[in-house]
Amino acid sequence: MSQEKIFTVGITGASGAIYGVRLVQELLKTDYKVHLIITEAGWQVFKEELLFETSDREKLLNELFINSKGNLHYHTLRDFTAPIASGSYRNEGMVIIPCSMGTLSGIAHGASGNLLERTADVMLKEGRKLLLVPRETPLNQIHLENMLKVSQVGGKIIPAMPGFYQLPKTMDDLINFVVGKVLDNIGVDHQLFTRWGD
């Protein structure tokens, strides 16, 4: 695999965009190179849920990830020339956080209709890590079957379900728990929550 530490992060239009923002911040903190894809619906969630000013997207990304040190690479959905669209580009994997049910469906059925879906398809065909963090409730049979399909071909499903055994006191504690579980599953050290028994 690559000697560089490289991950792709996708942020879709499901509620919970803050999870994706926090994950990117944590990866950049640990000197990962991050390829970031945000869907149009994801940008809408930034505006409506996080109350971010999204008219100047580049400025917002620079503010959110101020200490990226050149390690953040943003791609649009139509940028099929991006290195992450090819299996020959070596990297450690991909996390889609939060993952909408529409994106889940596209991945489960191999649609590759945009760069996000294509990159996820590359992770599966190359046997690399693919983690999906769905944020939807309730789930219907189609949702569950799509999660099963992705799981059966090597993806991992990590629902955005915070634990409470660490006695969270703030919203940040709940966010950090979910992001910490993702980091655990991609092998990245962190101090985002207190582990059971610690």
Binding-site residue positions for FMN: 13-15, 39, 100-103, 135
Nearest to 157 by CA among 177, 137, 129: 129
Binding-site residues for dimethylallyl phosphate, please? Answer: 165, 181
Binding-site residues, please? Answer: 13-15, 39, 100-103, 135, 165, 181
Chain centroid to CA 66: 19
Q: Is there a contact between 64 and 25 (Cβ–Cβ < 8 Å)?
A: yes
**1 contacts: CB under 8 Å, gap ≥ 6:** 90, 91, 92
Q: Position of tokens 């993952």?
A: 99
Q: Is there a contact between 42 and 82 (Cβ–Cβ < 8 Å)?
A: no
What is the Cα–Cα distance from 67 to 6, expressed in whole angstroms?
Answer: 16
Q: Position of tokens 């940040």?
A: 172
Dihedral pair phi/psi, residue 11, rounded to 5°: -120, 120
Q: Tell me the Ramachandran region of residue 161: left when phi exceeds 0, alpha when psi lies from -120 to 50, beta otherwise.
A: beta
What is the Cα–Cα distance from 170 to 147, expressed in whole angstroms?
Answer: 30
